[in-house]
Structure 1
């Protein structure tokens, strides 16, 4: 079953890893941060070894996004970000886990100081890839 681990953060200025740019992350003592970095590296190694890691990507600053909407008659384009909140989508990890419980355990390990982590299952969890014609 595929799940997306969405990382929401409020670094200002924007950068990755987000923990380097949040006040909460910057307040962590160097020794504790070294342990956290090793733990994160171990998590990624574990996901790779188990075959649960699919893909991940850090995202550019929300100010670089473009938002497309439909106003009922035509497309309307505005500069991003979409959300009027402090936290913005910073990146994602796509994982493939046997159970929701395993995915929840993995997602919890992504939560760091200043971040909010969201776990969301793939829409077509048990149906496999969908043809573009099926989505229209």
Structure 2
């Protein structure tokens, strides 16, 4: 089953990292992605640009409405995601626990919905 690990944290915590700590976090994240890929579990992993570059789109009455920023004001922001293949939810949770950003943020794990008939 496919699972998405949504990585949340406070951008200010990332900006507060020393250059060395930031470089180590990036290296650790890439190494973890490579490990998952070698195990055949990684589907895709991406870090996201700053929430300040985000736009929210809605369609109401057939018209597109675009707003700056995320939909909801929250303390934590979506920093990135990893989609993995895991046999069970427990395996997906173990994978999520290994994500380096889990040390300073939160990882939400959600199964991918299979649309019937697709």
TM-score strictly above 0.5: yes
1:50-89 to 2 correspondences below 5 Å: 50-72=39-61, 74-89=63-78
Other-structure match for 1:21: 15
Bigger Rg over Cα: 1
Shift of 1:54: 0.9
Number of aligned residue pairs: 114
Shift of 1:20: 4.1
**SS state at 2:78 partner:** strand
Shift of 1:43: 3.3
Gaps of 5+ in 2: none
Matched, 1:105 2:99: no
TM-score, L = length of structure 2: 0.76
**SS state at 1:117 partner:** strand
TM-score, L = length of structure 1: 0.68
Other-structure match for 2:106: 116
Other-structure match for 1:5: 5
- Given the superposition, is the C-alpha separation of residues 82 and 75 from structure 1 closer, same or farther in structure 2, using an over 3 Å criterion? same
Gaps of 5+ in 1: 13-18, 131-136
